[in-house]
Amino acid sequence: MFPRLICLILTLASATVSSTGQSVVKLEGDSVTLDLQRPAETGIKRIIWSFNLNTDIVTYYSNYKLKTEDEFKDKVYFNSRTFSLLVKNLRKSDSGIYRAEGPGGWVLAEYRLRVLEPVEAPVLTLVTYWSTGDSCHVTVNCTGGDRSLMSSCDNTSCSPEGGASTDSTLSMSVRDDIISCNHSNPFSWKSQTIEINRQCFSDIGDAVGSSAGFSPSLLKAALISVLLLIMASAVIAVHIREKQIIS
C-alpha cells in the first residue's frame, strides 16, 4: 500500500512538461495530431485542451460528453479514445501553445506549434562588379522574406554565405560560374541565379544592356547606322566642295 502511494506521489510531482513545450513545425495547409505525452489515469473525469494557456478548445468528460468551443468546431477533432487533438488546415494564426490538462491542472501534454508559409522566390540583384586577372568579382544583394543578404562573390565562393531568420534561411553558393541565392525553410526551397565567367565585363555589360532594353544585336545595328551616316556625310561634303571649286 505505502510503496504504491509513494510511487503515485512521485509520479504526480514529476508530471510536468517543460514550459516551452515540445516544438512542432508544420506548413500552412497541413494538419497535426497532438497526442498525450503522459498517460491519463483510468477513470479520469475530465481533460481540457487549451490554446495559448487562456483559450479552451475542447473539454471532455468521462461520461463521453464533449464540448468544443464555437471558434474551433470546424478546426479540430478530438479523439475520445486516445484523447489526442487533431488541428486541421493550419494557418500562421494557429501558431502557439497547445496544452492538455487533467483534473487539478495535471499537465498531460504541451506543444509549441509553429506554422510556416511556403517561401517566396528570392530576388537577386547585381550591385557592383570588377575583374582581377582571370577572376570575376561581384557584389550581389539577395532578398527573401524578411531578410536581405549582401554578399561578395568570385568564381568559386561567396562571403557571407548565408543567414537565418525566424522562419526561413537565405544562403549563397557558386558552382560552374553560377551564383545562386537560395531561400528555404524546413518544407520548401526556391532560388534565383546570376551567371558570371572570365569575360566579367562583357557578360555583365550584356546583362545590363539587356535589362535596360538593349540587346547586343541592336547595339551592333546602331553602330553600323552611325558609320554609314558618317560615310554619307563625308561623300556629300566632298561633292559640295568639288562644286564650289568648279564654280
Tens digits of residue pLDDT in 87-111: 999 999 999 999 999 988 889 999 9
CATH class of domain segment(s) 15-116: mainly beta
Q: What is the pLDDT of residue 243?
A: 62
Lookup: cell for 242: 568639288
Task: Judge contact between 97 and 52, C-beta under 8 A.
Answer: yes
Q: What is the pLDDT of residue 221?
A: 57
- Check residues 16 and 219 and name the one with the higher pLDDT: 219
CA–CA separation, 220 and 137 (whole Å): 27
Taking residues 36-42, report their average pLDDT.
77
Distant-in-sequence, close-in-space partners of 116: CB < 8 Å, separation ≥ 6: 25, 26, 27, 28, 92, 167, 168, 185, 186, 187
Taking residues 137-161, report their average pLDDT.
88
Taking residues 147-152, report their average pLDDT.
89
Task: Judge contact between 109 and 19, C-beta under 8 A.
Answer: no
